Amino acid sequence: MGGWAIAVHGGAGVDPNLPPQRQEEAKQLLTRCLNLGISALRSSLPAIDVVELVVRELESDPLFNSGRGSALTEKGTVEMEASIMDGPKRRCGAVSGLTTVKNPISLARLVMDKSPHSYMAFDGAEEFARRQGVALVDNQYFITEENVGMLKLAKEANSILFDYRIPTVGLETCSAGAASVEAALQMNGLPLSVYAPETVGCVVVDGQGRCAAGTSTGGLMNKMSGRIGDSPLIGAGTYAGELCGVSCTGEGEAIIRGTLARDVAAVMEYKGLGLQEAVDFVIKERLDEGMAGMIAVSRNGEVAYGFNTTGMFRGCATEDGFMEVGIWE
């Protein structure tokens, strides 16, 4: 065992013209979350607890697309999803279609710890949340003025928005930006003007070599009500086992098809690849024409990330003192 390691992400696929102030805000949030996780790891908190703690912090800040600040459905509401996985025994919990649960990652943890199931969704998940006594809020809590504006632009453009944090500087500007990427982007083989992959996630290996992973998101801006992405799907958006922990972000449909998170562990086990080699292989060979990114840790205390998008909000740290927060390549 090589000591503890942690990585966080705030989504892959970043507007190249994102204002410097917004870039700095994102880096500050990632740094805060890393420091929170580092402090917990130094206090010998198990990996699974650190993952939940850090993702809750990300969900509580409206900057990224999870919890408060989630992308809006075509109906103007929020439907959130999350999953968490504990590597040593491959225990997991996942939730979808949440509209009132303040911290979806914690309900996913309760599905894992307090139910006989691995995945609960919509009304059943909300009822389970009430029985477990988790914090509930009105759906309006999750909705930000900025996202209301982005939804309006998406509806006027009849599209799903690529970067839900792009400042609303005018429909003409945003429409021109959408047109410039329209030819390059598809989802499930269908042309798409733009999409919104700003999921959050955290992966941790603790000092005892136990890996864990968690992912949380509001999904796509202007998505159809009831749409489920990769984030709550074990093996696609989230995976942790004895060898590694992985959290993905990006085009959910492509991540689902490629079972991206599980494939990192698979090529480590079956091909004997190292962690960074495995991440690079999966990003290059398993996405077809999809766009995504991922963070990963190994039981040996390694940390890795990869993406084929224009940037990915991420941060990572290891017990030997290494720490990095970045957006671009």
- What residues act catalytically? 199
Is 249 annotated to bind a ligand? Reply is yes
Residue 24 annotated in ligand binding: no
DSSP class of residue 108 equals H
144 is in an annotated binding site: no
Both tokens of 95, joined, read 């939730």
* 11 annotated among ligand-binding-site residues: no
Cα–Cα distance between 29 and 32 in angstroms, integer?
5
CB-based contacts of 155: which residues, under 8 Å, 6+ apart?
A: 74, 222
Burial class (CB in 10 A: 0-12, 13-18, 19+), 281: middle
- At what angle are helices 20-42 and 47-60 packed, to 10 degrees? 150
**Residue 252 in marked binding region:** yes
**Chain-centre distance for alpha carbon 95:** 14
217 in a known ligand binding site: no
Is 25 labelled as part of a ligand binding site? no
280 in a known ligand binding site: no
Structure tokens at 161: 């928005």
Pairing mode of beta strands 91-98, 119-121 = parallel
Q: How many residues can be counted in the chain?
A: 329
Cα torsion 14, 313, 274, 268: sign? negative
Map tokens 């939804």 to a residue.
Answer: 151
Sign of CA pseudo-dihedral 21, 24, 26, 29? negative
Give buried/exposed letters for 95-126 (b at 16+ CB in 10 A, else e): bbbbbbbbbbbbbbbbbbeeeeeebbbeeebb
What are 314's two structure tokens?
């991420």
Buried/exposed 68-91: b ≥16 CB within 10 Å, e otherwise: bbbbbbbeeebbbbbbbbbbbeee
The whole-angstrom separation of Cα 220 and Cα 251 is: 9
Binding residues for substrate: 227-230, 249-252
